[in-house]
Structure 1
C-alpha cells in the first residue's frame, strides 16, 4: 500500500491559504465590529472586480480537490462515513468552507484586510467545484490509473518526494533573483532579525557582515541555474529505479522549470517579457543541468539522494552570497502591494522553503538503508 500524497498536500495548501488570508499579520485590534458582521453585508459588495472573483474561486478549488482525494484515498479508516464520491464532496466542501469562514472572521481584526461574505461564498464555490472535479476523476477511473502508474514508476514510501516535486513548479511562480534560484533568504532574514531586535540588547548578538553582498558573476549564475535544474531531477531519481523513466523525468523537469519561470516573468513584468530572463548563463545552465542529469542516470537511488544533498547545499551557499537586485526588489513590491497579494503567501513561502524542506527529506533518504540499490533498464 502506498500512502496518499493528497493528504500532506492538502495540509500544506491549507497552511498557505491561512498565510495568504491573514498577511501581513500586523495591526491586530478590535475595531468594535462583530466578527460575524460580514455575513449580513449586502450582496454584491460595493467594491469588487472580476479578478477578485476568479482569485477566490481558483484559490480554494485546489483545496477542494486535495481534500476530496484525501477522503477517498483514506476513507476506509474513517468509521463515521463511507468512502463515497458524494461523501467526499460534502466533507471537502464543509472543511474548506469552515476554513474560509474562520479566515473571513479573523480578517475583521486586521485593518489591511476586509471580511466579505462574497469571498466566503466564492471560496465555498471554488472548493465545491474542486471536490466535484476530484469525484469525477474517481468515477472516470483516473485516480486508480494514477495509483497503478505510481506503483510501476515509483518505489514504496515515495510520498514525501512526490509532494515536493508537485510543489516545485508552484514555488517557481514567486519571482527569484536568479532563475530556479529558490531559497534566497539570507538578506531578508538579516533585515527581519535586525527589525525585530531593534532597541534591544540582543541586537549586538546578531552577526554582522564586514562586506556587502556582491552580485553573482555569470559563472556563479550558471552554477545556480545548473544546480536548480539538477536538484528536482536527483530528487525524482531517489524514488525511481528505471533509467529510461529517469531520463523522461529529466526532460519533463527542464520543460516544467522553463514554463513556470516564464509564467512568473509574465505575471511580474507582463507577457511581452515572459522570456526576458533567458540570458546566456541561464541558457547554458539549463543545458548543463540536463546533461548532468543524464550523466547520473545509472547512480543508485541512495547515491542520487546524496548527490542531491551536496548539490542543494552548494546551490544555497552560492545563491545566498548574492544580494537581490533593484529590479528584483521592485518586482517583490509589485507582488506584495498589488493584486498578487492573493497569491503572495502561496508562492512566497514555497519559493523560500522548498529547498530546505528538500534538504530535510534527502537527509532522511541518505540515512535510511536502501534495500534495492540496483537500477533497472
Structure 2
C-alpha cells in the first residue's frame, strides 16, 4: 500500500468537472423535462471540433488519475473498469443536473465523449504501468522527495495551473479578500449584520513598482520554500528553484497569450516583474542551504506578507475585461480550475505548512 498523490489530484479534478459542468450556478429550476431525457433526444445539429475535443480531453486526466490511484494503492482489482465507471457516473450526473440549468444544455453526445475521454485516460495510465513507467516514477520520487510528501507534491504540481488564470500582478495568487468582502456585503445587505463588516477608509491604489517587484519575488520564493520541505539534497533543491523559475515565466506568458493574444504574451514582463523574478530566484538559491524547519517557518512568514501586500492591489479595468473574456468565452471550460486554484493555492499552502510543522514536531 502506498500513499499516492493521484487520489487528491483526482478529487480536485472531479471538483473542477462539477464546477465547469454547473457554471454559472444560477436560475436553478424545473424545466418540465426528466433529468434523463437527454439520453433519448435527437442528435445535436451543430458541433465544432473544439466541442468534441474539449469533451474528450476534459475527462482524460480524471480517468488517468483514478486509474493511477487504484494502481498505486492496490484498492481495486479492476482499475480501468472502476475508473471508467466512476467517470461515467459523474458525467451522467452532471448532464442530468444541467437539465435544471437554463444556461446549460444536457447532451447525450457530451456524456458519451466524456466517457470516451475517461476510458482513454485510464487506458493510457494502465499502459504506462505495464511499461514500467509508474515504477520508475516511484523510484524517482523516492530519490527526490522525503516520505509522506504527498501534500507538498500536490501543491507544487498545482502551482503552475493556478498561474494560468490571469492576475493583476504577475504570480499574484490569493487575491480574494476584496471579493470576499463584497460577497459578504451583498449577502448581509438589508440586515443589521452589515455594519459588522469593517469599513474601508479609502479606495485601493495601484501598487508602486517596488511593491509589485516584491510581490513577484515572494510569489516565486513561496513554492521554492515549500519544495525545500520535501526535497532535502542541496543539488536537487537548486534544480528545483531553476525549474520553478522557468515554469513561472512560461506559464505566465501562456496565460497572457490566452488572455490578450500571442502578440502580447510578454506584455506582463515589465521592469518590476523582471527584477522580481531575478530576486526571487536568487533568494531561492540562497535559501536552498537552510534546513527544512527553517524553510517552513520562513515560508509561513513570507506567505503572510505576500497575502497582505497582494490584497492591497486593486483590479484594473483591463483585468476586469480579461475576466469577462475568460468567464464568458471558450475559457469557461478552464475557468473553474484555474480561478479557484489561483484564489486558494496560498491558503492551501499555509494550512499544509502548519500541519507539517505540527506533525513533525510530534514525531520528534
Separation in 1, partners of 2:360, 2:107: 52
Match of 1:160 in 2: 151
Separation in 1, partners of 2:216, 2:186: 32
Gaps of 5+ in 1: none
Match of 1:70 in 2: 69
Match of 1:48 in 2: 47
Secondary structure at 2:99's aligned position in 1?
Answer: helix
Number of aligned residues: 364
Separation in 1, partners of 2:298, 2:159: 18
Match of 2:57 in 1: 58
Q: Identify the match of residue 199 of structure 1 among 190, 193, 200.
A: 190
Q: Deviations over 1:290-322 (max 9, x none)?
A: 000011111111111111111111111000011
1:282 matched to 2:281: no
TM-score by length of 1: 0.94
Q: Identify the match of residue 89 of structure 2 among 81, 90, 98.
A: 98
1:371 CA displacement: 9.8
Secondary structure at 1:198's aligned position in 2?
Answer: coil
Q: Is the 8 A contact 1:213 1:321 kept in 2?
A: yes
Gaps of 5+ in 2: none
1:11 matched to 2:11: yes
Q: Identify the match of residue 208 of structure 2 among 203, 217, 224.
A: 217
Separation in 2, partners of 1:47, 1:26: 25
Secondary structure at 2:53's aligned position in 1?
Answer: helix
Separation in 1, partners of 2:188, 2:103: 24
Q: Deviations over 1:306-364 (max 9, x none)?
A: 11111111111000011111111110011111111111111110110001000000111
Match of 1:239 in 2: 230
Misfit runs of 4+, over 4 Å:
370-373
Separation in 2, partners of 1:26, 1:97: 25
Separation in 2, partners of 1:224, 1:282: 9
Q: Identify the match of residue 146 of structure 1 among 137, 146, 153.
A: 137
1:350 matched to 2:352: no
Q: Identify the match of residue 217 of structure 2 among 213, 226, 238.
A: 226
Q: Deviations over 1:194-252 (max 9, x none)?
A: 22122222222221101111111101100000001001111110111100000000000
Secondary structure at 2:164's aligned position in 1?
Answer: coil
Separation in 1, partners of 2:290, 2:252: 29
Q: Is the 8 A contact 2:2 2:72 kept in 1?
A: no
* Greater alpha carbon shift after TM alignment, 301-310 vs 200-209: 200-209
1:258 CA displacement: 1.0
Q: Is the 8 A contact 2:60 2:119 kept in 1?
A: yes
1:367 CA displacement: 2.4
Match of 1:38 in 2: 38
Separation in 2, partners of 1:200, 1:58: 46
Q: Deviations over 1:16-44 (max 9, x none)?
A: 2111111111111100011111111222x
1:2 CA displacement: 4.7
RMSD of aligned C-alpha atoms?
1.5
1:74 CA displacement: 1.4
Q: Is the 8 A contact 1:302 1:370 kept in 2?
A: no
Separation in 1, partners of 2:55, 2:184: 33
